[in-house]
Amino acid sequence: MLEKLNLTMLADFYEFTMANGYFVKGFKNRIAYFDMFFRKVPDDGGFAIMAGLEQFIAYIKNLKFDDEDITYLRSKGIFNEEFLNYLKNFEFSCDVWSVPEGTPIFPMEPIVTVRGPVIEAQFIETMLLLTINHQSLIATKANRIVRAADGRSVMEFGSRRAQGYHGAIFGARAAYIAGCNGTACAISDRNYGIPALGTMAHSWVQLFDTEYEAFRAYAETYPQNCILLVDTYNVLKSGIPNAIRVFNEVIVPQGFRPKGIRIDSGDITYLSKKAREMLDAAGFSDCTITASNSLDEYIIRETLMQGAQIDMYGVGERLITSRSEPVFGGVYKLAAVEKNGEIIPKIKISENTAKITTPGFKQVYRLYANETGEAFADVMTLFSETIDDNRPYEIFDPEHTWKRKKVGNFTAKPLLTQIFNKGKCVYESPDVHEIRRYCQEQIDKLWDEVKRFENPHRYYVDLSPSLWKVKEELLEKFSDSEKE
């Protein structure tokens, strides 16, 4: 399987120059804390979906430098030989915490935290961001499309338009987690058990002398699962009439029912309405209609608003590439270091307030209303803190601190769970079907207002008073130093 490839050298070059510098300057054993978080939900949505953790775990488990890697680094002529010997015997020893896959996530809160020797914790940055950013992006986009379909099946059809084979395979995985019913990508079925779906292309129809012959040949080959592509020539004048003829001549006499038709071009709203009328009149009201061809959540929603008679959607390039916003802006920032056993918070300051980091070793609690089971806020705390949900708790906006609210009758659940302990994996990844079920359960616990496509309600991500105090003190400290 592709995830068994040794991808150790898939790292930004400055990870090596910093690691060499840390080594030379005696910081090899300095303990550092890094957080991965993101600043903005793609497509201005209300939430994103965490995905890619299983592949990140596989990367860590296979993290080692082979002789070819060392030879390459030595050829650069800038690395200390003792450092290269250190890499040759490299063993990952960090602690890692992560939000489970399938969890709705929100800007600025840590979704992965890494603690350990700074060389190790820094080095994994590139692959962590690559893996989580990609699958979280596709999962987030796929769920928007699934929600737009309003209960109708959505199939991921994007392999041929994905950015590379990893993009196709892991994109299909992320899309399935987020609610797609299956994929056109056969290897994703083989590797992960994601249902592979698909019947014929236009080339099948063109290869035969007539459309009728093409349909008949397919029906004779697959009488139990006959879905015909009806738009090669003319949907209403030939495609559907020929499909109905074959259903009556081949499928029904064998005691089967036709599964459906697919429309891949034209005005799918108009064509689906007419197709439904024709199929119903012929006695095939149970025959489904699938639509494909450059769809996304907005087009799907428009077709349904206009009364389209579509049962399933096949969505390709605009899903697998997240074409409307093809970047998930996850970043990886230093949050703290240890010195003499003490955790010392670190902060990154910017004139752009969105780029100011939240310092310290943190946990994230999600607060659920006991009456409804709905999630109404996340609270970032120091890792040593706990939120007592047996008593009222005050939450406040960390940017507009006068906005405060006391909440009661709630349950607080920590989101970050330990994945690695001193380099040993202590977490068993659920299979993709379990992650998918969990994802839907968690999305169902969000307010409907958070799930709007336009101007969604802002889900609150607050800081505990103790964490807010740490951040304020550091902001004041560096503000004062600038004045000096």
413: domain range?
Answer: 2-138+326-483
Annotate 158-207 with DSSP letters as a single string: -GGGSSHHHHHHHHHHHHHHTT--EES-HHHHHHH-PPB-----HHHHHH
Max intra-chain CA distance, the chain: 90
pLDDT at 483: 45
For residue 37, list its beta bridge partners: 331
106 token code pair = 């929100």
* Interior angle at CA 464, CA 462 and CA 468, nearest 5: 90
Burial of 75 (0-12, 13-18, 19+ CB in 10 A): exposed
pLDDT at 482: 52
Residues 188 and 297 occupy one common structural domain: yes
292 token code pair = 């494909």
Nearest to 160 by CA among 137, 183, 127: 183
Residues 160 and 103 occupy one common structural domain: no
Residues 304 and 331 occupy one common structural domain: no
pLDDT at 362: 98
Residues of the chain with pLDDT under 50: 1-3, 483-484
Nearest to 296 by CA among 272, 314, 269: 314
Residues 302 and 334 occupy one common structural domain: no
Query: How far apart (Å, rounded) are the C-alpha atoms in residues 146 and 158?
Result: 15
CATH code, 273: 3.20.20.70
Query: How far apart (Å, rounded) are the C-alpha atoms in residues 237 and 228?
Result: 15
Residues 127 and 163 occupy one common structural domain: no
pTM of this prediction? Answer: 0.96
338 token code pair = 């240890």
Residues 72 and 127 occupy one common structural domain: yes
Residues 374 and 271 occupy one common structural domain: no
DSSP, res 447: -
pLDDT at 339: 95
Q: State which of 320, 341, 361 marks the end of a domain.
A: 320
Sorted by sequence, the CB contacts under 8 Å of residue 401 that are 6+ apart come out as 468
Residues 369-421 pLDDT 10s? 999 999 999 999 999 999 999 999 999 988 888 889 999 999 999 999 999 99
Residues 292 and 254 occupy one common structural domain: yes
Residues 315 and 334 occupy one common structural domain: no
Residues 112 and 152 occupy one common structural domain: no
- Strands, sheet with 153-156, edge to edge from the N-terminal-most edge strand: 182-183, 153-156, 312-315, 288-291, 260-263, 227-229
Question: Residues 358, 331: contact at Cβ < 8 Å?
Answer: no
Query: How far apart (Å, rounded) are the C-alpha atoms in residues 239 and 102?
Result: 40
Q: State which of 268, 292, 320 marks the end of a domain.
A: 320
CATH code, 342: 3.20.140.10
Query: How far apart (Å, rounded) are the C-alpha atoms in residues 21 and 137?
Result: 34
Query: How far apart (Å, rounded) are the C-alpha atoms in residues 99 and 439?
Result: 12
Task: Centre a 10 Å sphere on the Cβ of residue 174 and count the other Cβ atoms it contains.
Answer: 29
pLDDT at 480: 63
Tally of domains within the chain:
2
For residue 297, list its beta bridge partners: none
Give the CA dihedral 190, 195, 196, 199, nearest 10 degrees.
Answer: 150
Residues 121 and 34 occupy one common structural domain: yes
456 token code pair = 């969604």
Residues 188 and 265 occupy one common structural domain: yes
Query: How far apart (Å, rounded) are the C-alpha atoms in residues 175 and 181?
Result: 9
pLDDT at 479: 75
Amino acid identity, position 401? T
Q: State which of 320, 346, 371 marks the end of a domain.
A: 320
Strands 288-291 and 260-263 turn out to be parallel
Nearest to 330 by CA among 57, 103, 95, 41: 41
* Interior angle at CA 223, CA 211 and CA 213, nearest 5: 20
Q: What radius of gyration do the chain's Cα atoms show? A: 27
The number of residues in the chain equals 484
